[in-house]
Amino acid sequence: MAAGLRQRILFLLLPCISIAGCGGSEEATTNVVPRAVYVDTLTMKAMVCDVEGEAPLVNPATGKRTLMPGLYCPKCQRWHPLPPLDQINRTPNATKCSKTGVELVADGPWPE
């Protein structure tokens, strides 16, 4: 009789244990919004913004859609706006720095 009671208790507690185990891992995760460097195409000023939607993003200072994802030139140490996709596909040097000719990279020191 004790073995049958033990099985019933485990049968009743198993869903609770499973739910508690699943819920615990979800609660531990945080909702971190990814951030990236964007360059204002009018002022050429780089800034760090939350990654939201499609580019160009709205510049919070001006309210205009002028922020494009940035690429960094390690030689001139400046952030440049990512060219439009059609320009990247048509122009062989679209992802090279216009001043130094060095290939632009996605990572670099974040602007202040």
Whether the CB-CB separation of 14 and 6 falls below 8 Å is answered with no
Q: What is the pLDDT of residues 60-111, one digit of tens each?
A: 999 999 999 999 999 999 999 998 888 888 988 999 999 999 999 999 999 9
Task: Tell me the C-alpha distance between 64 and 56, whole Å.
Answer: 9
- How many CB atoms are closer than 10 A to CB 19? 10
Q: Give burial (CB, 10 Å; 0-12/13-18/19+) of 16.
A: exposed
- Specify the pTM: 0.68
d(CA 7, CA 28) in angstroms, rounded, equals 31
Measured distance between the N- and C-terminal CA atoms of the chain, rounded to whole angstroms: 71
pLDDT tens-digit series, residues 2-54:
444 444 544 454 444 444 445 555 555 677 879 999 999 999 999 999 998 88
Domains of the chain: which residue ranges?
Answer: 1-31, 32-112
